[in-house]
């Protein structure tokens, strides 16, 4: 698939912007602060209904404006879909598909798929486990949009359960304590948690071989990367990926740690405590890998995601946001040749020299609130 037109109204720094895009590689070049990343951010918002830079919508709306509008024309298998999103911070966002309103903005998920490479990807490898969980969950939703609902249900269950544990903790200190409703939230957590867990386990299995191949290509065959899933169930983690087996395991582990949970006032078991473990050879990547190796692993995760989404049908649009400036010459060249055959690649860079020759297809200059096609 590719995006043939993108239009922004009051999105970030852009009061109004309309760009026509073509398949193949396209570079957006402009100095820092001109709004290149804002353009690709809008595109990613259409794909994921979220920003990779901020967790709330308010900063996405231009200062002084009430709402922002993003329109993207998506071409897939010779079909054209116009996706329009209206961002209303603090209220529900509205969406239209081919000019028809849809009941929930969530319906647009899956119409556009993207894979983003960004300087922040290094935190995928070096950062907290939460960065890797988010990586997995974002990819899950890109593959199966229905899981967006499971993911948000799980977060809500967790919030409710943690709120209950906190009050239970305080009540216990003052001598009372009501644990009767905790059983109910345990059951909810096991049900939604097992669904999320089963989906993640399946994803890691599918992703592993693709990331392996990508790592070998990016790093020129130095070492082997492996993905592993470490569950908060620990010893109690079943071999099976069956949802009911996983739910039963979660329930029994919750029962085992209950005392501890009540004392600490937080949920200690569930997919929110799990970790995607990355290893290089026999060493964990985090803490042991060099800067270059870490980058190779990060790139391999993104390339693997791209291959996975492509194999599901519906090749994603690749977005490389300021990423080449971070890489050494060898990785830069290899990444460029790996992605140049994709249906659509958008590259942003501060200077033209940061865009590899292979990816210098179309070129736009972003300057002083305008985007001008120069090639």
Partner 1 sequence: MYEGAVQDLIDELGRLPGVGPKSAQRIAFHLLAADPADVKRLVTALTEVKDKVRFCRICGNVTEQDECRVCRDPRRDLTAICVVEESKDVVAIEKTREFRGRYHVLGGAISPIEGIGPDDLRVRELMTRLADGTVEELILATDPNLEGEATAAYLARLVKPMGLRVTRLASGLPVGGDLEYADEVTLGRAFEGRRQVDV
Tell me which residues touch partner 1 (CB under 8 A). 103-104, 146, 149, 153, 156-157, 159-161, 163-164, 167, 178, 180-181, 183-185, 187-188
Give the bridge partners for 101, in sequence order: 96
Rank residues 163 and 351 by Cβ distance to partner 1 and give the closer one: 163
| CA–CA dist 125, 148 (Å, integer) | 24
Tell me the closest approach of the beta carbon of residue 316 to partner 1, in angstroms: 21
Rank residues 16 and 88 by Cβ distance to partner 1 and give the closer one: 88
Rank residues 142 and 157 by Cβ distance to partner 1 and give the closer one: 157
Tell me the closest approach of the beta carbon of residue 146 to partner 1, in angstroms: 5
| CA–CA dist 375, 366 (Å, integer) | 13
Question: 105 — alpha (psi -120 to 50), left (phi > 0) or beta?
Answer: alpha
- Decide: helix, strand or coil at residue 333: helix
Q: What is the largest CA-CA distance in the chain?
A: 74
Tell me the closest approach of the beta carbon of residue 96 to partner 1, in angstroms: 16
| CA–CA dist 195, 58 (Å, integer) | 31
Look up residue 274 and give its DSSP letter: -
Rank residues 169 and 332 by Cβ distance to partner 1 and give the closer one: 169
Tell me the closest approach of the beta carbon of residue 176 to partner 1, in angstroms: 10
Close Cβ partners of 203 (under 8 Å, ≥ 6 residues apart) = 136, 139, 140, 143
DSSP alpha helix (H) spans, 226-268 = 243-264
Rank residues 26 and 267 by Cβ distance to partner 1 and give the closer one: 267
Rank residues 103 and 221 by Cβ distance to partner 1 and give the closer one: 103
Rank residues 76 and 169 by Cβ distance to partner 1 and give the closer one: 169
Q: Distances from the Cα of 124 to the Cαs of 10, 132, 334, in angstroms?
A: 31, 6, 20
Tell me the closest approach of the beta carbon of residue 169 to partner 1, in angstroms: 12
Tell me the closest approach of the beta carbon of residue 10 to partner 1, in angstroms: 20
| Kind of pairing between the strands at 114-117 and 317-321 | parallel
Tell me the closest approach of the beta carbon of residue 298 to partner 1, in angstroms: 32
| CA–CA dist 162, 153 (Å, integer) | 14
């Amino acid at each position: 698939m590719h995006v043939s037109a993108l239009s922004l109204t009051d999105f970030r720094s852009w009061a109004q912007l309309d760009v026509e895009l073509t398949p193949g590689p396209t570079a957006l070049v402009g100095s820092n602060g001109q709004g290149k990343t804002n353009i690709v951010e809008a595109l990613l918002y259409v794909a994921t209904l979220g920003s990779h830079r901020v967790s709330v919508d308010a900063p996405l709306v231009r200062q002084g404006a009430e709402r922002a509008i993003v329109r993207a024309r998506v071409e897939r298998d010779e079909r054209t879909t116009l996706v329009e999103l209206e961002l209303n911070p603090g209220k529900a966002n509205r969406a239209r598909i081919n000019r028809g309103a849809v009941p929930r903005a969530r319906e647009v998920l899956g119409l556009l798929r993207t894979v983003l490479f960004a300087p922040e990807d290094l935190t995928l490898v070096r950062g907290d486990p939460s960065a890797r969980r988010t990586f997995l969950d974002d990819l899950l939703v890109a593959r199966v949009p229905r899981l967006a609902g499971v993911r948000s249900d799980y977060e809500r269950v967790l919030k409710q359960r943690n709120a209950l544990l906190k009050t239970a903790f305080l009540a216990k200190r003052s001598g009372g304590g009501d644990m009767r409703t905790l059983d109910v939230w345990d059951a909810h957590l096991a049900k939604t948690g097992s669904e999320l867990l089963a989906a993640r386990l399946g994803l890691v299995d599918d992703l592993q071989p693709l990331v392996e191949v990508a790592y070998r290509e990016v790093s020129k065959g130095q070492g082997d990367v492996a993905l592993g899933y470490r569950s908060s169930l620990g010893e109690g983690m079943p071999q099976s990926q069956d949802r009911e087996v996983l739910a039963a395991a979660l329930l029994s582990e919750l029962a085992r740690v209950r005392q501890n949970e009540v004392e600490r006032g937080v949920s200690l078991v569930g997919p929110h405590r799990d970790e995607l473990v990355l290893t290089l050879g026999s060493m964990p990547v985090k803490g042991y890998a060099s800067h270059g190796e870490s980058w190779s692993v990060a790139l391999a995760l993104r390339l693997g995601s791209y291959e996975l989404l492509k194999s599901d049908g519906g090749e994603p649009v690749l977005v490389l946001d300021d990423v080449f400036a971070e890489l050494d010459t060898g990785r830069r060249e290899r990444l460029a040749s790996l992605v140049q055959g994709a249906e659509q690649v958008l590259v942003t860079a501060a200077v033209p020299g940061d865009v590899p020759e292979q990816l210098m297809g179309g070129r736009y200059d972003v300057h002083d609130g305008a985007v001008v096609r120069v090639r």
